Structure 1
């Protein structure tokens, strides 16, 4: 059995792709205001908001448990509305040797399609797929969408 895995989820939203991407890539510290059940805080530890190479620290709730993650922003592609994160510290690395997250928003009709990709390597074969993190991303995406579309109503 392979220890390397990939989980993906697509979420249709009403908000424009570029606006969703701007929150994820440039203003992640605002997510705790719009999705407090999922994200309690996001702080910058190195670099600048919205810049590749920056290190951000998250306090979040995963499967009902408060957890933390430190991530480096590996890439931001504003043309493709895509942001790539690599987890460098935190609870996820207790189960996974490495963990990457790619978030891409693509225009679709009057809204967008947000595609989350989680790639990881488990520390051993008894580690489950990260379904709790996938559900966290789903909830957070819906909260951000509600916030962005409520502002226009």
Structure 2
């Protein structure tokens, strides 16, 4: 029996939501220059960069290991600064989870901007842990992008 799970992480940011949305949707390859110790590349395989249905592969280092995640852009909302990425290859779905989806949303909350990562996943059994380490990783990545002066 598969076990569905959801994990949400919040990061207060100084930049507007459109900055993160534009970077993760249209220019993910530029994140390698911002956080080279975390992200090594983001390749486009199919479609136009940033379009729903386009396929990308992230090359990254997590927990001291080089990994990759092939993802399809499942949904975008320009107005709400949201992008939904579904893993279709790589360690997340080939080795760990039956399904894995990550959503990045940046919104104004009171006086602050907040970046929210939401992971939705299905574990094959209880031996597979919640992706808390990966959540810490992507939240740290948001902090790196926020601290970077160029964007």
TM-score range, shorter chain: over 0.9
Residue of structure 2 equivalent to 1:133: 134
Q: Which shows bigger deviation, 126-135 or 80-89?
A: 126-135
Q: Distance in 2 between matches of 1:108 and 1:31?
A: 25
The answer as to 2:16 corresponding to 1:16 is yes
TM-score of the two chains, using structure 1 as the length reference: 0.92
Distance 2:50 2:112 in 1: 23
Q: How big is each residue's C-alpha offset from its partner over 1:88-123, in whole Å with a ceiling of 9 and x where there is no partner?
A: 000111110000000000024565100000000012
Contact 1:16 1:111 in 2 (8 A): no
The alignment partner of 2:92 has SS state of helix
Aligned residue number for residue 95 of structure 1: 96
Distance in 2, matches of 1:131 and 1:65, equals 16
Deviates more, 1:60-69 or 1:96-105: 60-69
Cα RMSD over matched residues? 1.6
> In the alignment, what sits opposite 1:151?
150
Q: Which runs of 5+ in 1 are unaligned?
A: none
Question: What are the residue-to-residue correspondences of 1:50-61 with 2, within 5 Å?
Answer: 50-61=50-61
**CA distance in structure 2 between the partners assigned to 1:111 and 1:36 by the alignment:** 28
Q: SS at 1:125's partner residue? A: coil
Aligned length: 150
TM-score (structure 2 length as normaliser) = 0.93
Does structure 1 retain, via aligned residues, the 8 Å contact 2:2–2:125? no
Contact 1:14–1:110 (8 Å) recurs in 2: no
Give the gaps of 5 or more residues in structure 2.
none
